[in-house]
Amino acid sequence: MLKIFALLSDFFLSLYCWTVISIFTVIFGIFSVIVSFFSENFSHKIAKLWGSLILKLCIVKVNLKNLKNISVNNKTSYIITSNHQSYFDIFILLAYLNVNFRFIAKKSLFKIPFLGQSMKRLGYIPIDRENLRSALKSAKTVAELLKNKKTSILIFPEGTRSLDGKLSSFKKGGLSMFLKQGDMILLPVVIKGSIDILKKNSLVVHPGKTVELHILEPKTSSGQNVGVLIDEIEQETRIALES
């Protein structure tokens, strides 16, 4: 009897959360696209509100650690690296990371009706890992945005969500391609606990969880060996995640 109750509880809570996500994604997606024609920065604020409302309605609490590691004037452009445990990472990063940023996402996501068009209008950057010329073009776009201090860029170096919450090895190709475009400031962040909300390959959402978002110390790529720098960031991310 208790097992049946637990299954029904999971079903209705998940249905509630997915309904919230779907409705707010459509509403805020349309609004963001319209606003993006006038102001890209304001469209990011709408995305931030979108993430905040979904977290609030799904009763997800986020404890922010070491916010001091982000530039106070908020004018520094970063390449932000984050581990990836859950789809909820996107809401968490948008809602609580006090930086104007754009996601780097798989090119295949931009082919999804409505979502793809919204991502393009919001300035998100597609990357095709199978096409070197296309990937280089994306890297140059990133370098230009960072050079002009228009925005920061966020990348998930693992390439996909973790199955067990542990950090997978970084895929160095994409990140090193961006770092080789010039001097960059990297901002590693670590999300702990989002896998308890929604696991990979599952539709069951567990609301009411508490997550931690750790902001690690920024690093500059100036004068650094790119491969060694990526290894350092991966190791620091792993230590913070396991601590």
Query: Which CATH number do you get for residue 129?
Result: 3.40.1130.10
Domain count, the chain: 1
Q: Can you read off the two tokens belonging to residue 142? A: 């990133």
Q: Can you read off the two tokens belonging to residue 15? A: 């249905």
Q: Can you read off the two tokens belonging to residue 31? A: 């609004």
DSSP sequence for the chain: -HHHHHHHHHHHHHHHHHHHHHHHHHHHHHHHHHHHTT-HHHHHHHHHHHHHHHHHHTT-EEEEE-GGGS-TTS----EEEE----THHHHHHHHH--S-EEEEEEGGGGGSTTHHHHHHHTT-EEE-TT-HHHHHHHHHHHHHHHHTTS-EEEE-TTSS--SSSSPPPP-HHHHHHHHTTS--EEEEEEEESGGGTS-TT------S-EEEEEEPPPEE-TT--HHHHHHHHHHHHHHHHH-
At 119 the pLDDT is 73
- What range does the domain containing 223 cover? 2-242
For 143-198, what is each residue's pLDDT tens digit? 676 666 668 889 999 988 999 999 999 988 778 877 877 788 899 999 999 999 99
For 87-144, what is each residue's pLDDT tens digit? 999 999 999 998 888 888 777 777 776 667 777 777 787 776 665 566 556 667 766 7
**For residues 209 and 49, what is the distance between their CA atoms, to the nearest angstrom?**
19
**Sequence-separated (6 or more) residues with CB below 8 Å from residue 1:** none
Largest Cα span, the chain = 63
The yes-or-no verdict on residue 64 having pLDDT over 80 is: yes
How many Cβ atoms from other residues are within 10 Å of residue 196's Cβ? 17
